[in-house]
Amino acid sequence: MKLYGTTTSPFVRRVRVVAAEVGATFEMINTAADDGQAALRRVSPIWKVPVAEMGERIIYDSRVIIDWLTTFHGWGDLRAPADRWRDANLVNAIDGALESGVQMFYLRREGLDPMTLPFGQRQLDRMAAIFEWLAGELELGPGGSGDGLGLPEISLLATLDWLDFRDVYPTAKHDAAFGALRAAHRERPSLATTRPLVS
């Protein structure tokens, strides 16, 4: 499998973590470089990463790529969804927070301060609302679903690490809810080897 992406993208990281967990190998095409970006645009009209290429088949979107990986490689030591509709809601909520953070980051990278606009505060408020809701839903802590690592947890951990890496949102506000989950999996090889890095 060829995986188009960057070493910083939290959406790409989910796929890298799942691939490592289920034992799928891939060749990374770095889309931060001009030639990688040109290659991405040849395979995807969306121009977003991750994109996976397996021979003739090209798949856009982290969730669909993960669906492909788990369909053909199983879940390995990951927790398979017990209720896929519930997990889908959790991952949708995490995506909502992450997309808000990504928009803030992109504006800042263009030299704009999103906090000078109502838009910026709205994104921060949405992120806070989502993380507060997730804190109740994920049942973290002893005896909670935090004992296992499923797609919602991987997505949340990649999101929190990326928000810290880009200094987009004060994730420490939610340490009481997510600190134990973060600590429990920090050294897990699939997560430890995929932390965001400037390429």
Ligand X SMILES: N[C@@H](CCC(=O)N[C@@H](CS)C(=O)NCC(=O)O)C(=O)O
Residue 90 has a CB neighbour count (10 Å cut-off) of: 22
Cβ neighbours of 100 (radius 10 Å): 23
Please, which residue, 16 or 63, has the CB nearer to ligand X? 63
- 39 is a contact residue toward ligand X (CB under 6 A): no
Using the rule CB under 6 A, which residue among 23, 33, 47, 175 binds ligand X? 47
Q: 6 to 25, contacts with ligand X by CB under 6 A? A: 9-11
Q: What is the DSSP string of 116-134?
A: GSHHHHHHHHHHHHHHHHH
Q: Which of 18, 19, 63, 91 binds ligand X (CB under 6 A)?
A: 63
Per CB under 6 A, the segment of 42-50, 143-151, 165-173, 189-197 that binds ligand X is 42-50
Shortest CB 33 distance to ligand X, Å: 14
Phi/psi of residue 5, each to 5°?
175, -170
Backbone phi, then psi, for 26, in 5-degree steps? Answer: -150, 160
48 binds ligand X (CB under 6 A): yes
Which is closer to ligand X, CB of 47 or CB of 72? Answer: 47
Q: By CB under 6 A, what part of segment 88-147 binds ligand X?
A: 102
Residue 18: which H helix or E strand, with range? helix 10-22
Distance of CA 52 to the CA centre of its chain: 15
Residues that bind ligand X (CB under 6 A): 9-11, 47-50, 61-63, 102
